[in-house]
Structure 1
Amino acid sequence: MFVIRWILGRIILLLDFVFSPKKRQRPQDEQTSIDQQTKNLALYQYKACPFCVKVRREMKRQNLNIPVVDAKQDHNKQQLLTNGGQLKVPCLKIEANGKTQWLYESKAIIEYLNQRFA
């Protein structure tokens, strides 16, 4: 089972690389403003997870510089479980007004990004 998942993961990464979306072009001052807003976000993900790839592609399409955190590392996994409540990826950590919100599900994350930045 591990070998099959590994092979499928590599295929997903290859296809993501080959068919990478184009970045959205914005004026420099607008892009700087968006970069400031994305400093309060972090995406917890697995590199070869198809749902994580879907979210990363949307981030690239919108030219969002959101830090990506590898949830396979033990300390990141523990932080996700302890603070977010679930060991599930993709997960968008949103820090705003002194509060932290953990948003799961790729569809919900993409909707949030579209509403806030598109």
Structure 2
Amino acid sequence: MLVAFSVAPSGTGRADGSVHDAVAAAVRIVRESGLPHRTTSMFTEIEGEWDEVMDVVKRATEAVLPFGSRVSLLLKADIRPGFAGELDGKIERLENALAESDLGEGD
């Protein structure tokens, strides 16, 4: 399964609204998990079996709790039994489709 999630504290009391320290605590948990992952400016994607992925998401969320009075978690999951390597596989298929369509434009 693939999970894309974003976790952030609110009620931090910071005038600038910055949450980078809290996000760093969450991403540290993901990186230490050993599961395939990717972090972008808005989400962290992680791949693995249901229980192991959800455990990492739970621990990452708990790591953010000390940074505010509440935590927001946004999660999207792609549950596709029997598939692995989709963190990169989906991107490769997209890039191939784009390349194929670009080749057809010159006809």
What is the TM-score of this pair, normalised by structure 2?
0.31
Judging by fraction of residues, say which structure has more strand. Answer: 2
Structure with the largest fraction of helix: 1
Q: Larger Rg: 1 or 2?
A: 2
